[in-house]
Amino acid sequence: MDNITSLIGGFGDVLSPMNLLIALLGVTVGTAVGVLPGIGPAMTVALLLPIAQDLEPVQGLILFAGIFYGGMYGGSTTSILLNTPGESSSVVTAIEGNKMAKAGRAAQALATSAIGSFIAGTIGTLGIVFLMPQVAKFAISLGAPEYLAIILLTFTGVTAVLGASRIRGLASLLVGLTIGLVGIDFVTGQQRLTGGLPQLADGIDVVVVAVGIFAVGEALWVAAHLRRKAGEVIPVGRPWMGRSDWSRSWKPWLRGTVLGFPFGALPAGGAEIPTLLSYTAEKKLSKHPEEFGHGAIEGVAGPEAANNASAAGTLVPLLAMGLPTNATAAIMLFALQGWGIEPGPLLLTKEPALVWALVASLFVGNTMLLLLNLPLAPAWAKLLQIPRPYLYAGILFFASMGAYAVNSQPFDLWLLLVLGLLGFAMRRFGLPVLPLIVGVILGPLVERQGRRSLQLTGGDISGLVGGPVAWFCYVLIVLALAWPLVAKLVKARRGGSDLHDVETKTEVSV
Amino acid sequence: MSQQHPENTGHGTKDRAQYGLCAGLVLLGAYVLFDASRIGAVSSSNDPVGPKPMPILLGVLLLVVAVLYAMDVARGGSGEAEEGEDVDLSTSVDWRTIGLLIASFALNAVLIEPLGWVISGALLFWGSAFALGNRHHVRGLAAGVALSLITFYVFAIGLGVNLPAGILQGIL
């Protein structure tokens, strides 16, 4: 059991006072930003990038992983206590969770979501321990054409599978790829899309893009439609569960975990589909189907577990192949590059200590989150009372600081404003944000792999056709693209869909 | 989500503003193609493709997507505007607030180097809070000054992040 030995080594690295402190800081900040409206883990990680570059890579990753996991705990608190979910992955939680809270069962809803998240997070992290090394071993054997195919599959996943509208997802992806193209070509040194501006020669910094799209875009969008009367927060005491709550929760937790993890681990995963599936499954399997729609605890336990398990799953493609499938993972990938670490299949071979310390920190952070969230839920709920002008002014303040700090040039602030307006427009027109960020980060990679593939055949297009893995990916891509057509046919035959009462949303958590 | 909101977020039957977005995509695609045409055909034995095909492919795809997008809009398609905890989509866009926010933001970009982060950041916070409806001017300014001082000491002096001291150089 090599994995276990390495993991124990990872625990050895994490369990130093300094690293524990960083993990605690990460999960605390993560929970806070998860609770706060308008700000989420991806944006926080982006804002902290300039600081993280001065930390040791291990510590930076521990911090980010804590924020990543913490953000999900905080997000579910918001959707239960304040009916409007901030992240697409907690949309389903809000359906039953808020009903429970309104019926005076907020404490039980928070408890089942916190304990379910802990269980799913822990099992999911165990899943990483066993799956990730296998995937990495497999990924090392892949050549450039296979890699190209897998990246294209990821693109398909984030644009066509996760969104409500493919054309809007595709537009977002293409804009992201275009932003990623700006700068000097890595082989020939030719300037592309720089418009002759020297500040653009090194490309547009991912921090500026992420902060602009997430933070500034979000602040402008909220400002344009600011709810003058803040939503009603349901008061809550310390979370707890009675005997019947436990017996009704544990199976949904496990089922949610089983549904969530594989979806997260796929290069085209995400949390929306498994949370929705979990909700539907629990509704069908429940002994109390009549309670659904009026605050059924199964409808909180299952989707919350699915959400956290899927988040754990997204770390498999990130660590094993360098492929991010959510916004926070995308920015963590960028942070790795900033530390001079090349993410990809060789990461585990080259930096085993780093990877295992990160995985160990997930176990630690998850436990901290449970201990932090059960007793402190009422305190977190108070964060929802913060005056909105200060909250959004603060977001703009930190966004400007973060973007300026990257290169110390006011030019980046103007760029930030332009990207913020782009983020505003995307929210106005319902363009999903995730494809853009993935495009910016993977754009240069996809070009490199494509050019490398063609290098072997001297530019002949046949170089793009690889082995069975590539073929498999292309088949999946075709299937994913043809899916709505198939679904329409099936629907026409069966007349109606099972999911009609739950609609999906396209936004990613910010 | 589970809250009812007006159909198509309250923009009439067809959301024509989306054509503007399509036009933007066309412009972007055209610019990408124009820029690609400027790149010399550089290729070598270890890079037979060169830097040119990728932008050409992207530019063409942008144009194609713009057309498909416009067709979708013409058929009555519209994206769902993003919801959120503090977003009330039944109101129309509040351009005054947006304008004031952009002004505060731009002021910071102009002043950050000459005056330094502590002053420009405090103004940014105060101005944005004002734009968002804060009317406790003294409290807002105090909060802004406190935030910018704290961030300056913690990040610039403590953690070595690059934030300019500006005219307060030597005082801070």
Residue-wise pLDDT for A115-134, tens only, equals 999 999 999 999 999 999 99
User: What gap in Å lies between CA A124 and CA A288, rounded to an integer?
Assistant: 28
How far apart CA B149 and CA B172 sit, in angstroms, is 9
Residue A70 has pLDDT above 80, yes or no: yes
Mean pLDDT computed over A158-177: 87
* A415 to chain B, closest Cα gap in Å: 10
Closest residue to B86, CB basis, from A226, A400, A431: A226
Closest C-alpha to A309, from A124, A97, A122, A74: A124
Side chain identity at residue A395, one-letter code: I
Q: Which residues in chain A have Cβ-Cβ distances shorter than 8 Å to B73?
A: none
Contact (CB, 8 A) for A252 and A298: yes
Paired tokens of A276: 């929705």
Q: Are A29 and A44 contacting, i.e. CB atoms less than 8 angstroms apart?
A: yes
- Binary contact (B86, A389; C-beta < 8 A): no
Query: What residues in B contact A503, CB-CB < 8 Å?
Result: 1
Of the candidates B107, B109, B164, B153, the one whose C-alpha atom is nearest the C-alpha of residue B130 is: B107
Q: Which of B25, B47, B94 sits opposite A188 (nearest CB)?
A: B47
What one-character-per-residue DSSP string does A459-506 give? T-GGGG--SHHHHHHHHHHHHHHHHHHHHHHHHHHHTS-TTTTS----
The count of other CB atoms within 10 Å of the CB of residue B158 is: 11
Q: How many CB atoms lie within 10 A of CB B111?
A: 18
Identify whether B90 is part of a domain: no
CB atoms within 10 A of CB A248: 22
Largest CA distance in chain A: 69
Same domain, B64 and B124: no
**Are B133 and A400 inside 8 Å of each other by CB?**
no
Do the Cβ atoms of A430 and B80 come within 8 Å?
yes
Share above pLDDT 70 across residues of chain A, in percent, rounded to a whole number? 94
pTM for the full model?
A: 0.86
- A140's tokens: 């090392």
**For residue A85, what pLDDT band results from cuts at 50, 70 and 90?**
low
- What single-letter amino acid sits at A501? D
Whether B159 is in a domain gets the answer: yes
Q: Are B125 and A393 in contact, with CB atoms under 8 Å apart?
A: yes
CB contact under 8 A, B81 and A222: no
| CA distance linking residue B111 with residue A400, whole number of Å | 12
**Minimal Cα distance from B71: which residue of A?**
A167
* Per-residue pLDDT at A496 exceeds 70: no
Please name the member of B47, B95, B132 whose beta carbon is closest to the beta carbon of A226: B132
pLDDT grade for A497, boundaries at 50, 70 and 90: very low
What are the backbone dihedrals phi and psi of residue B80, each rounded to the nearest 5 degrees, phi first? -85, 120
> Torsion-angle region of residue B109: left (phi > 0), alpha (psi -120 to 50) or beta?
alpha
The ipTM assigned to this model is 0.90
DSSP letter assigned to residue A226 = B
pLDDT in tens, A463-487: 787 788 889 999 988 888 887 777 7
Average pLDDT over residues A308-336: 89
Provide the residue type at A263 as one letter: F
User: A225 with B6: CB under 8 angstroms?
Assistant: no
For B2, the closest of A94, A164, A177 (CB atoms) is A94
- List phi, psi (to 5°) of A105: -115, 35
**End-to-end CA separation in angstroms for chain B:** 49
Query: Do B16 and B55 lie in a common domain?
Result: yes
DSSP A105: I
Contact criterion met (CB below 8 Å) for A319 and A6: no
- Mutate which: A36, A167, A460, vs B, most B CBs within 10 A: A167
What percent of chain A shows pLDDT beyond 90?
Answer: 43
Domain range holding A480?
A: 2-509
Chain A positions touching B58 (Cβ under 8 A) are 174, 177-178, 181
**Distance (Å, rounded) from C-alpha A181 to C-alpha A447?**
9
The reply to whether B163 and B105 lie within a common domain is yes
Contacts of B132 in chain A (CB under 8 A): 223, 226, 388-389, 392-393
On average, the pLDDT of chain A sits at 87
Contact present, A446 and A178 (Cβ < 8 Å): no
> For the CA atoms of chain A, what is the radius of gyration?
22
| Closest by CA position to A93, among listed A297, A245, A397 | A297
Print pLDDT tens along chain B (172 aa): 333 343 444 444 678 899 999 999 999 999 999 999 988 766 676 778 888 889 999 999 999 999 999 999 998 888 888 887 788 888 889 999 999 999 999 999 999 999 999 999 999 999 999 999 999 999 999 999 999 999 999 888 887 788 999 898 888 7
A203-246 confidence digits (pLDDT tens): 898 889 988 998 899 899 999 998 876 667 787 778 888 899 99
In this predicted structure, what is the pLDDT of residue B40?
75
Q: Tell me if B108 is assigned to some domain.
A: yes
pLDDT at A1: 61
Interatomic CA distance for residues A504 and A270, integer angstroms:
12
What residue of B is the nearest CA neighbor of A35? B85
Q: Is A359 helix (H, G, I), strand (E, B) or coil?
A: helix
Cβ pair A296, A303 in contact under 8 A: no
* Inter-chain residue contact A396 with B128, CB threshold 8 Å: yes
Which of A59, A84, A383, A499 to probe the B interface (max B CBs under 10 A)?
A: A84
Q: What does the DSSP assignment read for A272-333? A: HHHHHHHHHHHHHH-S-GGGTTS--THHHHHHHHHHHHHHHHTHHHHHHHS---SHHHHHHH
Q: Among partner residues A188, A389, A408, which is closest to B132 by beta-carbon distance?
A: A389
Residue B88 forms part of a structural domain: no
Nearest CA-CA distance, residue B101 and chain A, Å: 8
User: How far does CA A13 lie from the centroid of its chain?
Assistant: 26
Question: Who contacts A380 (Cβ-Cβ below 8 Å, separation ≥6)?
Answer: A31, A32, A35, A74, A77, A373
In a domain, B85, yes or no: no
Question: Stretch A78-97: mean pLDDT, rounded?
Answer: 78
How many C-beta atoms lie closer than 10 Å to residue B157's C-beta? 12
Amino acid letter, residue A287: K
Grade residue A495 by pLDDT with cuts at 50, 70 and 90. low
Q: What is the DSSP letter of A192?
A: E
For A401, the closest of B94, B98, B121 (CB atoms) is B121
Give the residue among A404, A398, A314 at the shortest CA–CA distance from B116: A404
> Residue A257's pLDDT is what?
96
Given a cut of 70, whether residue A504 has pLDDT beyond it is no
Q: Which three-class secondary structure state does DSSP give residue B87? A: strand
Same domain, B23 and B68: yes
Distance from C-alpha of B67 to C-alpha of A94, rounded to nearest angstrom: 37
Cα A61 from Cα A28, distance rounded (Å): 15
Q: List CB contacts (< 8 A) between A177 and chain B.
A: 58
Tell me if B61 sits within 8 A of A188, measured CB to CB.
no
Partner residue facing B94 (CB), from A178, A223, A430? A223
Q: Among A166-175, A194-203, A300-309, where is mean pLDDT lowest?
A: A194-203
β-sheet bridge partners, residue B87: A226
My answer on whether B114 and B158 are in the same domain is yes
Is the domain of B70 the same as that of B99?
no
Give per-residue pLDDT as tens, A248-298: 999 999 999 999 999 888 876 677 788 888 999 999 998 888 888 888 999
Report the domain count for chain B. 2
Chain B residue numbers with beta carbons less than 8 Å from the beta carbon of A93 are: none
Predicted local distance difference test score (pLDDT) of residue A441: 86
Q: Do A404 and B162 touch (CB under 8 A)?
A: yes
Number of domains, chain A: 1
Which residues on chain A are in Cβ contact (under 8 Å) with B123? none
Residue B155 near residue A401, CB atoms below 8 Å: yes
Handedness of CA B107, B112, B116, B121 (dihedral sign): positive
Residue B69 domain boundaries: 12-41+48-75
| Rg (chain B; Cα; Å) | 24
Chain B residues touching residue A387 (CB < 8 angstroms):
134
Number of continuous H segments (helices) and E segments (strands) in chain B: 5, 0
Q: Do both B59 and B107 map to the same domain?
A: no
Mark whether B116 and B55 lie in a shared domain.
no
